[in-house]
């Protein structure tokens, strides 16, 4: 195991929030002998990479596409270390980016991808290829660093030792990372005179807004290089949905003697200085713990001056629909479909959608019932778009209802332009940032945008300013996405173990 754990002597840990970050932290800690209790607000695990049941159908709560599950991939290695088996289907054609007047297919195979770039940007093909090849090299260096499992910022001697080892083994990668550390993606585009090429810029923006929560003008080149090139390493769909990752992590925690309490939102936590214990209250748990790992993205009223979370930027509006399977025989017949579509709304279409921050992210799946069995005669479609939660929070009830209906119809119409869809819809239900607030406790999802400041200069640590209190999830290093959240959970568990070894917190 790639662990740095110290002796835990039955320390008790409360993981608040059963998102993929918290569960990863809990699983590593349980594996190292900690007594882990996970308290989760919702009725299922997985948070925004989980699932929910409506009208006997299983819908994803957010994420659908998984990364890092290839052999020796970052997530695969973590799951192996935790003795978790997770079948996943590799996607050779994970995505189509649909721009006004152009569709660009993203392929796993490098040759197919380069051919697609040449075909789509014929007037700039050499610059585009050079941009992409060099971006790939930067992405490889970022990956090499990530594979050392060094958490940023560096706060301990062992972190420093990890960096020195990296310098020793990858001197060229380090030089590359140092050289581009202050670059935005736009700075890098300038080197290839591509910053003014509108469709190229749009294609990058669409992917970056989903992956790092901001566009080329602000996205830090280092994390963006990995996000943009990761499809060549591998992207995956998971039978029964991405929530299966969290389900298996939760099962593992229980298998190791930990407990998972669902429908158990934590209302308050308080620190008992004398006992050096955290007192935690939820409907199903009133107990003291040596250590807290907070994976919720909410503060619990503690230490607001040194807020654990930067304000995240976005919320999500989503549409979950059940369609008649006939759509596959009709409009989609014989089409080579990607797993997902990222669609830039066409300008003439819907004013409403342009007020939201595209792209529209759409996936099609088999329709599953609540037991995970395929429902004959149906397919499922999920669509989501970034939106500003404030616009929903500040609405009156009437305005909220109207806006929700308008955005829902605009999304359907936008997809309709790609394929005739409306006549196949059996059922479609929308969720807004207030829906997320209600079910997973936060209206803002997706963490903070990975700008140079947030990702490189001041990455957010898994350690908080509070004693024995750690943070995991999309709001801390390395940032948004299921793979990053899982890594943050790993980093949080390692920080706990290192600190326990150093300070030997008293357990009762
Ligand atoms: C619409 C959408 C689509 C996405 N698509 C993808 C994708 O395709 N691929 C990808 O890799 N990533 C995707 N993401 C991002 C990814 O889902 C998240 O970054 C990741 O799942 C976050 O995990 P987390 O553990 O940090 O937090 P979360 O999943 O947010 O988990 C937080 C947990 O804390 C719980 N909680 C909150 N308050 C309390 C409380 N008081 N007490 C107890 N529990 C509490 C919540 O219920 C929740 O379960 C998507 C996100 C969204 C919203």
* Residue 8's pLDDT band (cuts 50, 70, 90): low
pLDDT at 5 over 90: no
Is 6's pLDDT higher than 60? Answer: no
Backbone angles phi, psi at 417, to 5 degrees: -70, -25
Residue nearest atom 50 in ligand 1 by C-alpha distance: 63
**What pLDDT does 345 receive?**
76
Residue nearest to ligand 1 atom 22, measured at CA: 474
Residues 122-134: what's their mean pLDDT? Answer: 98
Tell me, in angstroms, the distance from the centre of ligand 1 to residue 96's CA: 24
| pLDDT of 413 | 87
For residue 479, what are its two tokens?
A: 């940032």
Q: What is the dihedral of CA 387, 202, 75, 247, to 10 degrees?
A: 30
| Span from the CA of 446 to the centroid of ligand 1 (angstroms) | 7
pLDDT tens-digit series, residues 238-284 = 988 999 999 999 999 999 999 999 999 999 999 999 999 999 999 99
Average pLDDT, the chain: 91
Tell me the mean pLDDT in the region 340-360: 69
Q: Is the pLDDT of residue 508 over 60?
A: no
Residue scoring higher pLDDT (335 or 406): 406
Q: Does residue 448 have its Cβ closer than 6 Å to ligand 1? A: no
Q: Ligand 1 atom closest to Cα of 300? A: 41
Q: What is the pLDDT, as a whole number, of residue 309?
A: 47
Res. 485: pLDDT tops 70: yes
Between residues 302 and 242, the one the model is more confident about: 242
Alpha-carbon span 282 to 302, nearest angstrom: 16
pLDDT tens digits, one per residue of 17-74: 999 999 999 999 999 999 999 999 999 999 999 999 999 999 999 999 999 999 999 9
* Residue tagged 């569960």 (tokens): 23
- Identify the pLDDT of residue 152: 94
Asked if residue 4 has pLDDT above 60, the reply is: no
Widest distance between CA atoms in the chain: 70
Domain boundaries, the chain: 12-58+240-311+451-503, 109-232, 315-440
Average pLDDT over residues 443-449: 89
pLDDT at residue number 416:
86
386 DSSP β-pair partners: 316, 357
416-433 confidence digits (pLDDT tens) = 878 888 899 999 999 999
- 152 CB less than 6 Å from ligand 1? no
Per-residue b or e along 117-145, where b marks 16 or more CB atoms closer than 10 Å to that residue's CB: beebbeebeebbeebbebbbebbbbbbbb
Mean pLDDT of 385-404: 93
Question: What whole-number percentage of the chain has pLDDT above 70?
Answer: 92
Which pLDDT score is estimated for 111? 98
The two beta strands, 374-387 and 357-368, are: antiparallel
Q: Indicate which residue's Cα is closest to atom 26 of ligand 1.
A: 473
- 308 pLDDT band, cuts 50/70/90, is very low
Cβ–Cβ < 8 Å for 314, 445: yes
Residue 455 scores a pLDDT above 60: yes
Binning the chain into helix, strand and coil, the percentages to the nearest 5 are 40, 20, 35
Mutate to test the pocket of ligand 1, among 46, 59, 63 (most ligand atoms within 8 A of CB): 63
364: helix, coil or strand? strand
Under CATH, what is the fold of the domain 315-440?
Guanine Nucleotide Dissociation Inhibitor; domain 2 (3.30.519)
Residue 3: predicted pLDDT: 41
Residue 443 is predicted with a pLDDT of: 92
Q: Does 447 score more than 50 pLDDT?
A: yes
Q: pLDDT-based confidence at 352, cuts 50/70/90?
A: low
Kindly tell me if the per-residue pLDDT of 303 is higher than 70.
no
Hey, which residues does 53 pair with through a beta bridge? 58
What whole-number distance in Å separates Cα of residue 250 and Cα of residue 243? 11
Q: Tell me the pLDDT band of 302, cut-offs 50, 70 and 90.
A: low
Which residues are paired to 259 by β-bridges? Answer: 37
The reply to whether 315-440 shares the fold of 12-58+240-311+451-503 is no
pLDDT-derived band at 349, boundaries 50, 70, 90: very low
C-alpha 19 to ligand 1 mean position (Å): 6
CATH class, domain 12-58+240-311+451-503, is: alpha beta
């Amino acid at each position: 195991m790639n662990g740095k754990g110290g002796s835990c002597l039955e320390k008790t840990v409360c993981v608040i929030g059963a998102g993929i970050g918290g569960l990863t932290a809990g699983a590593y800690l349980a594996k190292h002998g900690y007594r882990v209790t996970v308290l989760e607000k919702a009725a299922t695990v997985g948070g925004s990479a989980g699932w929910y049941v409506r009208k006997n159908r299983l819908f994803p709560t957010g994420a659908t596409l998984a990364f890092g599950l290839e052999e020796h991939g970052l997530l695969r290695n973590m799951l192996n270390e935790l003795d978790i088996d997770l079948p996943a289907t590799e996607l050779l054609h994970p995505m189509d980016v649909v721009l006004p007047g152009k569709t660009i297919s993203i392929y796993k195979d490098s040759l197919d991808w380069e051919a697609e770039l040449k075909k789509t940007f014929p007037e700039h093909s050499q610059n585009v290829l050079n941009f992409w090849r060099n971006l790939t090299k930067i992405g490889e260096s970022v990956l090499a660093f990530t594979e050392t499992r060094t958490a940023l910022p560096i706060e301990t001697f062992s972190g420093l030792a990890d960096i020195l080892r990296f310098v020793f083994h990858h001197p060229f990668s380090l030089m590359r990372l140092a050289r581009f550390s202050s670059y935005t993606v736009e700075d890098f585009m300038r080197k290839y005179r591509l910053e003014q090429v509108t469709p190229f810029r749009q294609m990058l923006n669409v992917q970056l807004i989903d992956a790092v929560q901001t566009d080329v003008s602000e996205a830090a080149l280092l994390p963006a290089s990995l996000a943009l090139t990761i499809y060549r390493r591998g992207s995956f769909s998971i039978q029964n949905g991405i929530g299966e990752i969290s389900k298996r992590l939760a099962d593992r925690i229980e298998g190791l003697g930990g407990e998972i309490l669902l429908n158990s939102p934590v209302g308050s936590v308080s620190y008992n200085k004398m006992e050096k214990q955290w007192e935690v209250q939820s409907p199903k748990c009133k107990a003291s713990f040596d250590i807290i790992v907070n994976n919720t993205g909410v503060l619990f009223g503690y230490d607001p001056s040194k807020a654990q979370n930067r304000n995240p930027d976005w919320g999500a509006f989503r549409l979950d629909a059940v369609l008649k399977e006939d759509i596959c025989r009709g409009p989609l017949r014989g089409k080579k479909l990607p797993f997902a579509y990222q669609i830039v709304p066409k300008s003439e279409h819907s004013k409403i959608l342009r007020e939201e921050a595209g792209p529209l992210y759409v996936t099609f799946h088999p329709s599953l019932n609540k037991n995970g069995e395929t429902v004959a005669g149906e397919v499922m479609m999920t669509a989501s778009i970034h939106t500003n939660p404030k616009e929903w929070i500040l609405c009156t009830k009437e305005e909220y209802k109207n806006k929700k209906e308008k955005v829902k119809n605009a999304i359907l119409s936008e997809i309709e332009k790609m394929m005739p869809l409306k006549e196949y819809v059996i059922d479609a239900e929308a969720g807004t940032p207030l829906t997320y607030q209600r079910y997973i406790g936060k209206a803002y999802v997706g963490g903070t945008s990975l700008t140079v400041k947030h990702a490189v200069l001041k990455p957010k640590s898994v350690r908080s300013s509070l004693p024995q209190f750690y943070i995991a999830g999309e709001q801390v290093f390395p940032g948004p996405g299921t793979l990053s959240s899982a890594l943050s959970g790993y980093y949080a568990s390692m920080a706990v173990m290192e600190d326990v070894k150093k300070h030997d917190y008293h357990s009762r």
